[in-house]
Structure 1
């Protein structure tokens, strides 16, 4: 409650103004989620801020977008595009060029707050179907005009910024339909611009006009679920919160159709083949560098929410949580949908935010040997057939108890579910008050998980006044991922970026990957050659040359020096 703080934080409640930089930087213009009073107390303590100094003090981006550098494309090109998509689907307004020319990385957020837009597309196009996309790509290939595909613009790795001008293809406006549900093959055919909630809602609704006779689910629920498109999931190789059971986006894709500068590529919807290296796999995660995804065939699953079994444990230590998670996914009794383990700092801060670090809850944990600074939260859900879900939950709890865990029933999991899609919006308030929240995530094996976790935490903790919430939430028999959510009040913008670079270097030096599921974009592209190897990077470069001889497709993502490909 605000009275517990002794003051009312000056959170912003009005939506972003139409045509402002703030409208462009927000995930949705009218969405907000204010940090709780418990969060504010942590900010004051951690960053040594006096209550009277806790005020908005960073540029808010409320300035109108106007007077930006004009585009340089010849008017003849604009006329050609209008002839393809219709004049109403072509825009060169300052507002649209800024809005659709940026994603949602911290880098772009800060730049937009400061009104800095050095690189913008010349035109924004809204194709109505895949045939128009093919005509646009062919025209751009002929005239050497860069193209950047745009879904909902939620890339956090600078994956959709038009650094080389050209045109933005906004796929969400018109290409946003679920085209077919094939229950016999258990797949759905989807256009790339369909938003996550629309896709899931249509699958759930028994869409008889699309071929359904029962409710289905796509099984893909990333934190950005409400604000991202299906095409974005596939082209950035996303991973949902229930991926341990349903699989990552990579696993969900059965077939794709891409428009490339050398022609349209359509892969077959077979579950498996032995016809050489799979073109379908080569195209997944290509981030628009090879072509434009115009249709995708995805696995679907029976929707049985009434069978969901929730469970949660408090584990004595991080190692106990890790070992429990490993044995669960390697147990061969089926896998949970959601499985998440929080390290000690994330656990302690989570308990404090909910008020469970004191009172009866604290006494209960103490009696059960769950020590502050060591204990770790594990939460999970099991889905599918009722008996299977019950078995998975039962066996998971059994393994957790064998490592000293204490069952928390499903209450902790339900508490987490309340904010699973909305917490992303607190970034706006945090940034307004001169603080930064950013996330780095990496893939690890069971063998090197502790090394990566300890190494990266040491680098983060070496910077005074830095919160770091770490967890793992996408599990495989061979390993998992690690999130590092950093919250700090930097001395300057440059100081933050220098700090983040040190953390990235620590992740890579310890044996982690540049990214687990956020993609590469322009943020991590320079790290790929060292991470993959020069020979392996050469394979990507050869594919780029084949699909995109003139380097017009989202130039600058994936390959650090792909400008050299241009004739």
Structure 2
């Protein structure tokens, strides 16, 4: 029923999430749920829709001239220049839903002319100089986990891939608890290096503190330049809180910030560069905060609440309690809670029946998961305070069980996307941030738009929390409009984005803007703010070679079409 064998030169091999040989197929509980809610039959599960099994067809020829490719090879070495179709195809897309569907249809719209693997900062300085002279576009590339078309080389040119060479830790400052690291280092390699770090002073190693769901297949450069967030950002902070300094090559020259713990020296240059998504220049290294690694001192907790409002109130009080923050705090709304319980086989069990007798009923109850890391005494204090707050809001504690289950599967769930697409189910996410005073309004009004589409599942959670608010993460599943998959999705997605903005949410909390949300960006931040960003772009990159084609809407004609790439 599920596809596990396909050519390593196929469209599917590029469209697939994660490891080519990695799979996490829907459980029997989920397939039964799909049949029941979507009206699917056994035939729907046996007939694969747009599987993308064909080998990639020849791409259009590169526009870059042969002599220019030779000059590029002269800088990085000919072994680090690739013009083969498969490499170009792999670097032509992001992990966004629409890119994946296009791939499965055999449609590769924006291949780079050449894939280049720089060996270090010196190569990049020379490449940027050459490309500025020749007006050759450069699009940074690493883990290919962007869901906003951020790494799609719309204007062709060079796809600059850091993962082959620029993938190392350069230095650990164990006195300052910082680490210099290159942009092409994948999350697991970075964390493993830090965990295993030992010296006369450091006995237990470090942790990076940044664990997005894309952790296994995303890199440091993407984290920083999109202002990403990890699953434990409530305690460790988003990546902009973790980033100390950086080095960036721009067409205008080098930007080098210093690793001061804080400074009052005008506008923060790091803050200006973070979120620029390669439109201002190429980050060659970042200095990041690192943290003591003490997994044995981790405190975990799971709480049920009778309804969404009580759960949100408890979460808000936890964040405003003044006793410190847990590292992770995540609450699922009623629909996500019910589906999670169904998938884990909890629905209808004896514990479930007991929960219902106590007033924690399906369709209303919510589950909150959390953990605290670092000093054991501090963690115990947080756990104790959270227990007191949760009980005051009618919560029922279930210990660490829910958190352990979540951690086991947190990196596996994205693998199901291919299987869902195979049976004709649209599956995607959108996220936002809002204040505590507005969070219910945003949740309610955005859900209303999503649920207005027939046969649509809408699961929501808040998983990045602050003293003044939290994010909301919307996951939606719905049968595809076969034959009009992209047109249907584009309109549906635009409706949801418009609902988020109308309700007062941010355009993004941690996915970034990329090219997907560019048409909304200008209006969202205002004309004066956008003009300031555009002025920086024009100064640093006067010939518009850095990730052109709509990034941040900086080179869109007019305001662009919302939902169009």
Query: Which TM bucket (shorter chain)?
Result: over 0.9
**Is this contact kept in 1: 2:44–2:423, CA < 8 A?**
no
Tell me whether 1:388 sits opposite 2:378 in the alignment: yes
State the shift of 1:307 in Å: 0.4
Structure 2 equivalent of residue 121 of structure 1: 112
**Residues 127-526 of structure 1 correspond to what in structure 2 (within 5 A)?**
127-208=118-199, 214-491=204-481, 492-493=484-485, 494-526=487-519
Aligned partners of 2:198 and 2:426: how far apart in 1? 43
Q: Secondary structure at the match of 1:559?
A: helix
State the shift of 1:68 in Å: 1.3
State the shift of 1:30 in Å: 1.7
Q: Secondary structure at the match of 2:176?
A: coil
Aligned partners of 1:172 and 1:192: how far apart in 2? 8
Q: Secondary structure at the match of 2:466?
A: coil
Q: Secondary structure at the match of 2:552?
A: coil
Aligned partners of 1:562 and 1:166: how far apart in 2? 16
Structure 2 equivalent of residue 545 of structure 1: 538
Aligned partners of 2:381 and 2:203: how far apart in 1? 28
Aligned partners of 1:429 and 1:43: how far apart in 2? 12
State the shift of 1:13 in Å: 2.1
* Worse-superposed segment, 237-246 or 112-121: 112-121
**Judging changes above 3 Å, is the alpha-carbon distance between structure 1 residues 118 and 363 closer, same or farther for their aligned structure 2 residues?**
closer
Root mean square deviation, CA, Å: 1.4
Aligned partners of 1:119 and 1:557: how far apart in 2? 13
Cα deviations by residue, 1:303-324 (Å, 9 ceiling, x for unpaired): 0000001001000110111111
Aligned partners of 1:157 and 1:465: how far apart in 2? 25
Aligned partners of 1:559 and 1:235: how far apart in 2? 12
State the shift of 1:292 in Å: 0.5
Structure 2 equivalent of residue 7 of structure 1: none
State the shift of 1:214 in Å: 4.2
Aligned partners of 1:511 and 1:558: how far apart in 2? 23
Q: Secondary structure at the match of 1:378?
A: strand
**Is this contact kept in 2: 1:56–1:434, CA < 8 A?**
no
Q: Secondary structure at the match of 1:369?
A: coil
Q: Secondary structure at the match of 1:381?
A: strand
Aligned partners of 2:315 and 2:449: how far apart in 1? 26
Aligned partners of 2:163 and 2:54: how far apart in 1? 26
State the shift of 1:398 in Å: 1.2
State the shift of 1:187 in Å: 0.3
What's the TM-score once normalised by structure 2's chain length? 0.96
**Is this contact kept in 1: 2:15–2:100, CA < 8 A?**
yes
**Is this contact kept in 2: 1:123–1:168, CA < 8 A?**
yes
Aligned partners of 2:492 and 2:433: how far apart in 1? 21
Cα deviations by residue, 1:311-351 (Å, 9 ceiling, x for unpaired): 01000110111111111111111111110000000011111
Aligned partners of 2:516 and 2:556: how far apart in 1? 16
Aligned partners of 2:376 and 2:554: how far apart in 1? 52
**Judging changes above 3 Å, is the alpha-carbon distance between structure 1 residues 145 and 332 closer, same or farther for their aligned structure 2 residues?**
same
**Is this contact kept in 2: 1:314–1:375, CA < 8 A?**
yes
Aligned partners of 2:396 and 2:202: how far apart in 1? 42
Aligned partners of 2:394 and 2:255: how far apart in 1? 53
Aligned partners of 2:294 and 2:144: how far apart in 1? 31
How many residues matched?
A: 554
Structure 2 equivalent of residue 6 of structure 1: none
Aligned partners of 2:420 and 2:28: how far apart in 1? 13
Aligned partners of 1:200 and 1:101: how far apart in 2? 28
**Judging changes above 3 Å, is the alpha-carbon distance between structure 1 residues 503 and 67 closer, same or farther for their aligned structure 2 residues?**
same
**Is this contact kept in 2: 1:19–1:65, CA < 8 A?**
yes
Of the three residues 45, 53, 60, the one matched with 1:69 is 60
Aligned partners of 2:126 and 2:94: how far apart in 1? 25
Aligned partners of 2:287 and 2:550: how far apart in 1? 25
Q: Secondary structure at the match of 1:562?
A: coil
**Is this contact kept in 1: 2:449–2:496, CA < 8 A?**
yes
State the shift of 1:367 in Å: 2.5
Tell me whether 1:84 sits opposite 2:104 in the alignment: no
